[in-house]
Structure formats: structure tokens, C-alpha cells
């Protein structure tokens, strides 16, 4: 009779559904650059320490290293959007602490598109020959007029 294998770790840590890429996507989609930071052209990284309760919700969030101008408050707001998956820990309600670095980078300025070049216009004029030319007269030659506008 074989012994039942025990878990490698007594307490299992919470994880974010979708992993780090999903967490970055939530930050990217919900990040609202503060107006004050935009006006003062502030860039930098905010480090936030937060706690995850036994239900997977972020409870306490505190800025460890901030840049101010509204970016710290925005980083805390973003962290509170997270919802973690917490495995059962043998009936023990455990609180986990994590850190996250949220980068604030000024949005790239979009260059105004150059106006398209003026269209090149060609005008063709065709002068038809007379229907019944008289035998004594020379038929009038057809004429072409080409106008190029640059």
C-alpha cells in the first residue's frame, strides 16, 4: 500500500487567472493617465504593495514608491480591479502580500498626417472631323488638346 503524496507546499498561493499577461492587459485597458501628470509631463514607475484576502480580493493597497501628480492614486485604483483565484488551504484563511510595478509612460504624440499630393489632372479634347467632307476641300485634321496641371 502506497502512502498518499502530500503537497509540496503547505499553503498554496493565489494566482491571477490568465497569468501575468492577463494582468498587464487589465492595466493597459483600464489605465487612465492623470491629467495633472500629462500637463507636467510626468513619467515613472509606481510600486504598490497590496494584500489578497482568502476570497481573492485585493484589500489593502499602499504605495511604496510613487511619482505623485495623481499617478499613485491611479495605481491603487488599478490594483483594486484585480481578482485572484485562491486555492483551498486546509480551512485556513490566509492573507497574502504582493508587490506590483505599474509603469506610467507618456503616450506617443501622433504626427499629423501629411496632406496627399494634389491630384494630377489630364484633360483630353477631341475635335471630330466633319461628316461630309467636300471633295475639293481638304478634310479638317482632328485636333487634340492636352492640359497638365501640376
Show me where the domains of the chain are located.
Answer: 15-104
Mean pLDDT over the full length of the chain: 82
Compute the distance between CA of residue 54 and CA of residue 13 in angstroms, rounded to an integer.
10
Residue 93 Ramachandran class (φ > 0 left, ψ -120 to 50 alpha, else beta): beta
Mean pLDDT of 5-25: 83
Position 96 pLDDT exceeds 70: yes
Share of the chain above pLDDT 90, in %: 47
pLDDT at residue 68 in the model: 87
Q: How far is CA 31 from the centre of its chain?
A: 10
Domain 15-104, CATH among 3.30.420.40, 3.30.70.20, 3.30.2420.10, 3.30.9.100: 3.30.2420.10
pLDDT at residue 137 in the model: 58
Mean pLDDT of 108-124: 69
Which neighbouring-strand residues pair with 122?
Answer: 148
pLDDT at residue 115 in the model: 73
> Shortest CA distance to 74 belongs to which of 61, 84, 57, 85?
61
pLDDT at residue 124 in the model: 62
Amino acid at each position: 500500500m502506497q502512502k498518499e503524496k502530500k503537497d509540496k507546499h503547505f499553503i498554496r498561493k493565489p494566482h491571477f487567472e490568465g497569468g501575468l499577461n492577463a494582468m498587464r492587459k487589465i492595466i493597459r485597458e483600464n489605465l487612465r493617465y492623470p491629467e495633472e501628470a500629462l500637463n507636467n509631463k510626468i513619467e515613472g514607475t509606481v510600486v504598490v504593495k497590496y494584500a489578497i484576502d482568502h476570497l481573492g480580493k485585493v484589500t489593502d493597497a499602499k504605495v511604496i514608491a510613487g511619482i505623485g501628480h495623481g499617478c499613485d492614486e491611479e495605481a491603487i485604483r488599478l490594483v483594486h480591479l484585480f481578482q485572484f483565484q485562491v486555492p483551498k488551504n486546509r480551512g485556513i484563511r490566509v492573507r497574502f502580500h504582493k508587490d506590483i510595478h505599474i509603469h506610467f509612460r507618456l503616450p506617443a504624440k501622433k504626427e499629423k498626417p501629411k496632406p496627399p499630393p494634389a491630384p494630377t489632372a489630364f484633360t483630353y479634347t477631341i475635335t471630330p472631323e466633319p461628316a461630309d467632307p467636300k471633295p475639293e476641300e481638304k478634310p479638317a485634321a482632328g485636333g487634340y488638346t492636352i492640359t497638365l496641371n501640376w
